[in-house]
Amino acid sequence: MERSIKRVKVDDQSLLPISMENARSELDSRADTICAGLNCRLIHYTGQECTVSGFHTKLGAVDKVPIATVATAWSDEHTGQGFILIMHEVLFFGNDLDHSLINPNQIRHNGFQVFDNPYETDPNRQMGIVINDTDRIPFQSLGTTVYFNTRFPNDYEMETYPHVVLTCEAPWDPSGIAMPGGLTQDRFVQKVQSLQFHGTNRHHHM
């Protein structure tokens, strides 16, 4: 079914950031969809909304959170190399969230390598998002938080920085994604059935 797109003027005062400074984009696989905060610039809404719940039922829920496509700017503080990171199918909170939450699996699902293990010793798997053969966005860590800094992109950056599309534009259904190595319901049922017949039809089981 085709989804409607609601275009939004980016010069709307309600969409302007509180600050143009860097804010954290924190890696969080518990946030099963990327949550875009004040360091993200709205490109357009998808026309869909959802209810967002916390990790505990007593924390309540936030209703009518729009699903959107956003952009955030990253640049290397040493070389000045910058990218505009385009993220489709995100929950847009804007200024209501002073950072962004990044689900690494949503990015991996679009074909990018994401290394977020701070204990990794292999130099080829240093923390970061691999953009191409020569470029990567490195991660930092503070305590147990892994993150990278991005900011609300201005018009000049939107026009001049290379654009990297981190997530797919197709509707993102985290509960329906079958990741490599994951256990699907079909596999689980098949395993239960084979164990049930184990010993009664051994050749068939093998």
pLDDT, tens digit, 9 for 90 and up, residues 90-117:
999 999 999 999 999 999 999 999 999 9
pLDDT value of position 128 = 97
Most confident of 63-67, 119-123, 164-168, 199-203: 164-168
* The residue type at 115: F
How far apart CA 105 and CA 78 sit, in angstroms, is: 28
Confidence (pTM): 0.78
* The residue type at 177: I
User: Average pLDDT for residues 69-89, to the nearest whole number?
Assistant: 94
From 17-21, 86-90, 137-141, 196-200, the region with the lowest mean pLDDT? 196-200
Strand spans (E) along the chain: 6-7, 23-27, 35-36, 41-53, 61-75, 82-92, 100-102, 113-115, 128-130, 136-138, 140-142, 145-150, 163-165
Residue in the structure block whose two tokens are 């900011």: 151
Closest CA to 70 of 173, 146, 165, 3: 165
pLDDT value of position 182 = 60
Q: Would you say residue 186 has pLDDT above 60?
A: no
pLDDT value of position 19 = 67
pLDDT value of position 56 = 65
> Per the structure block, which two tokens stand in for 16?
């302007």
Phi/psi of residue 95, nearest 5 degrees = -70, -10
* Cα-to-chain-centroid distance, residue 180: 18
User: Average pLDDT for residues 151-164, to the nearest whole number?
Assistant: 96
> 186: which residues sit within 8 A by CB, 6+ positions away?
none
> Per the structure block, which two tokens stand in for 9?
């003027």
